[in-house]
Amino acid sequence: MTQADERVLEFLHEKDIVASPSVIAANIDYTQEYISRRCRKLTDAGPLQRADASNYRITALGKRFLDGDVDKDEISDA
């Protein structure tokens, strides 16, 4: 988990939205390409899921991570 990963999760959770990497990137000051890569990694690890072909949403695991109920080390490969 990177600082950008946490910001992605926080953004999606706080706004309670489904969003594309370009929308997320524009709101958290990272490049779209980087956020796109991180979203794929977070999806593989479980904190995010695809809502459709180009949008992501936070999962229950992602929310539990933000609440402090899941440690970074418990989320594999992110």
Give the residue among 52, 31, 67, 46 at the shortest CA–CA distance from 1: 46
For the whole model, what pTM was predicted? 0.92
In this structure, are residues 45 and 72 in contact, taking their beta carbons and an 8 Å threshold? no
Take residue 10 and report the two structure tokens written for it.
Answer: 């926080």
Domains and CATH numbers, the chain: 3-70 (1.10.10.10)
Longest Cα separation, the chain: 30
Q: Which tens digit of pLDDT belongs to each residue from 26-71?
A: 999 999 999 999 999 999 999 999 999 999 999 999 999 999 998 8
